[in-house]
Structure formats: structure tokens, C-alpha cells
Amino acid sequence: MFDRDLPKLALPRPRSDIVEEIRSDPPVPALMLASRERGWTYWGPLPKDWDRKIDLALLGFFYGGTLIHPNDPRNEVRSFEEGRIRVRGRNREAERAAPKRLEAFGLQAMSASEVRGTDAGRMTFALTDAQPDWPSFVYEVVPQLEREGWRVEVEDSFRHSVVDGGGEWSAELQEAGGWWFSLDLGIEVDGERVPPLPVLTSLLGRLRDMGRRGELDALAHNGVVFGKLPDGRHLALPLERTKAILTTLVELYDPATVTAGGKLGISAGELASLAAVETATQLRWLSGDRLRALAERLARFSGIDQVTPPAGLKTELRPY
């Protein structure tokens, strides 16, 4: 009797146009670069170089828009796209090849217990001694993986952002008074002028700490050396150009003469060294043409020429 009081509901018929579409798209390896806290606590005195954080590469695979962990047990991935149910079979061979590719670049898999807060959809990798450092990995390996079709993302937590310092170098020389001058070097990085002197002097400090003063090759990899900017970014510098300017800076550099803005104070007697700086860096001078000309004259100076005393001079000249 209650049926007569119920409204008649018009239920839609099941759609007949939704079909399954079998796809064989290869998976896209997806790498996330991130920094996390270690999953264990160090007991006892801490080693000098111990770091409570660890830098990681997290690997997963995209099948369409679905991220899959390499150890996910499913044999196929289903998704609803553009009115169709798309079914993608797992390509285990491609998935096995990706970790091997990372291992070839010096990464090794880690257990989940070693790291806090890892991504549940990705497998965790960290660098071994086979790869020099993260800046080299970011600068050299990441572009190569992207060319191979990998999708690489960088989490805000990652500590190794790299910028290219191989662009134009410029210099500005100003009078500072009392036969002292101020040299301001700059490198064009992502549209901004960055002072390289703090970076270069930090490289000198690292070499001194290693007991390898002047051996910049010890810090380089594949013709590139990395210095650290004040904001934490790594600056990739061409090795040969950097070696040439450091040779000059070793002679000019005095920590007491470097200003907070990264300018170097030099005396009139040291101006001659600027010619070597210009050759080493292929500088573009911003100003100070008169001072630059003075530096060039000093660089060409080879000694005082001996001349014949003028007739009628009634005194004896000393040899100097």
C-alpha cells in the first residue's frame, strides 16, 4: 500500500558508450628530488660531518596520470579519462631498468626506515661515493634524464639548487681614495648580477682546509666547479676560467679588504694584476676606463729607461 504513495522515480539508464580501452603506453619514470630527516638518531659524540638531514631522489612511475610505486603489486592501472576506462598494463621491464639507470649515476636504494616522511608512491634513493656530489648530479645528470623522457621535479625542501655561472663576467673599478681602488666583479645569473668574489674566496678556503692550496681540480667534476652563493644556491663555474682568476686572486686577496657587498680593495701597486684578471675572465668593463688604462700601462711597465743628462747640468745624478 505504501507503493501508491511513493513518487515515480525516473532512473537514468546505464551508459552504454563507456568502454574499456587497452593502452600500451610506456611508463614515465618520475623522479622527485627532496631533503628529509634521517629515520634514526645518532647516539654518542656526533662525527664532524654528520648531518641530521639527507638528500634523496624518490622514484615512481606514471601510467597516464596515475603514480605507481615500483613495488606496487597491481598488474594493470585503470583510470577514467575522456569518457573511457583506460587500462594500462604494467611494463615491468621498463620499471626494472629505471633503478639500474640511477645506480649507474651513483645512487643506491634505501629502506623506508632510514628516512622520515618519504613519499608512499615512490622508491627512495641516495647518493653513494661513486657520484661526487648533488650539485654535479643536478647540473649534469638531471638534464640527461629529462632528455631521455624522465619527469624530474624538485621539492622546496631540496638543498641543492644549481645556477649556471658560465655567462658574461663584468668588472667595475672605482677610486676609493688614498691610492686605493675598489674592484667589483659580477656574473650574470638568471638575469641578475651576482658578485663572485665571496664564492671564489670560499673555494680558496676549501682548498686550504684540504691541504691542496691552488689545486682547484680537486673540487671539479667534468670541467665544472661549484661554489655556494649566500642564499644557498650552488653556482656552477667553468673550471679553466675559474682557475685563471683564482691564480690572480691568491695574490690580491686579503679578507680585510673585501667589503660586505663582495668588492675587493686593491692598492695602486696591484693594479697591474687586473690585466691578468681581464684575460682570465673575458671581462666586460662597466666603467673606470681611465683606471683600466692605468692598469694596462702598469702591466706593460718593464723598468725605467736610462737617458743622457741634459747639457749644462752641473750635478751628478745617482744611478737610481
Provide the β-strand partners of residue 37: 53
pLDDT of amino acid 224: 93
> What does the H/E/C string look like for the chain?
CHHHHCCCCCCCCCCCCCCEEEECCCCEEEEEEEEEEECCCCCCCCCCCCCCEEEEEEEEEEECCEEECCCCCCCEEEEEECCEEEEEECCHHHHHHHHHHHHHCCEEECCHHHECCCCCCCEEEEECCCCCCHHHHHHHHHHHHHHCCCEEEECCCCCCCEEECCCCEEEEEEEEECCEEEEEEEEEECCEEECCHHHHHHHHHHHHHHCCCCCHHHHEECCEEEEECCCCCEEEEEHHHHHHHHHHHHHHCCHHHECCCCCEEEEHHHHHHHHHHHHHHCCEEEECHHHHHHHHHHHHCCCCCCCCCCCCCCCCCCCC
pLDDT of amino acid 23: 78
Question: Across the chain, what does the average pLDDT equal?
Answer: 77
Which of the four pLDDT bands, split at 50, 70 and 90, describes residue 283? low
Q: What are phi and psi of 142, to 5 degrees?
A: -55, -50
pLDDT of amino acid 118: 62
Dist. CA 165–CA 190, nearest whole Å: 9
**In this predicted model, what pLDDT tens digit does every residue of 103-123 receive, in sequence order?**
999 999 988 667 776 666 789
**Cα 116–119–124 angle (5° rounding)?**
75
Please indicate whether residue 108 or residue 296 has the higher confidence score (pLDDT).
108
Integer angstrom CA distances of residue 20 from 11, 25, 61, 92, 210: 24, 15, 22, 22, 63
Contact 170, 286 (CB under 8 A): yes
Taking residues 24-45, report their average pLDDT.
81
Provide the β-strand partners of residue 320: none
Residue 48 has pLDDT above 90, yes or no: no
